Copies of this chain bind each other. A is one copy, B any other.
Amino acid sequence: MSMVDVSRKPEAFREATATGSICLRKTTVKRIKEGEIEKGDVFTVAKIAGISAAKKTSELLPLCHPLPLTNVDVQVKVKDESTITAEATVKTIAKTGVEMEALVAVSTALLTVWDMTKQYEKDEAGQYPHTVIEEIHVIHKEKQEGKH
């Protein structure tokens, strides 16, 4: 069991974008759009949670290297009447890529949406028959050597 040894790899500009979505009840998405979520502004809290989590990636994933992220951008949007999407772009100048950081940001942003809308998603038995996080994947990954 081991980390990849990146000691001798050259530093390069690295960028990765990931995305994913969460399906909620239509009434919950309506509430989000209308700013009627009691716990507060879902978009802003989810974005911050995503950014903060990206910076914790090497704590969460045992074999990830700690990287000096130069940018994390997280967008959280209403996609359709029952779906919220999160998209995260992470950048660094480093010896290895940042797709895991982008994926951690997306996952945590979506989990934060869930946490903020829990009370509207539970049924009378306290279960979540509708809520599901889906399609977390990497859209694009890029490396530019010798340009930073």
Contacts and interface: CB of A to CB of B under 8 A. Distances in A.
Given A2-B40, A44-B41, A100-B111, A93 B7 contact: yes
Given A135-B132, A136-B132, A141 B115 contact: no
> Chain A: interface secondary structure?
mixed
Interface residues of A, number: 72
12 contacts: A1-B45, A2-B40, A5-B91, A6-B70, A51-B62, A64-B115, A65-B68, A107-B108, A127-B140, A131-B137, A131-B138, A133-B136
Contact of A40 (B1, B71, B115, B116): B1
Interface stretch (A25-33, A52-60, A79-87): A52-60
B45 A48 contact: yes
Interface in A34-78: 39-41, 44-45, 47-49, 51-53, 55-56, 58-73
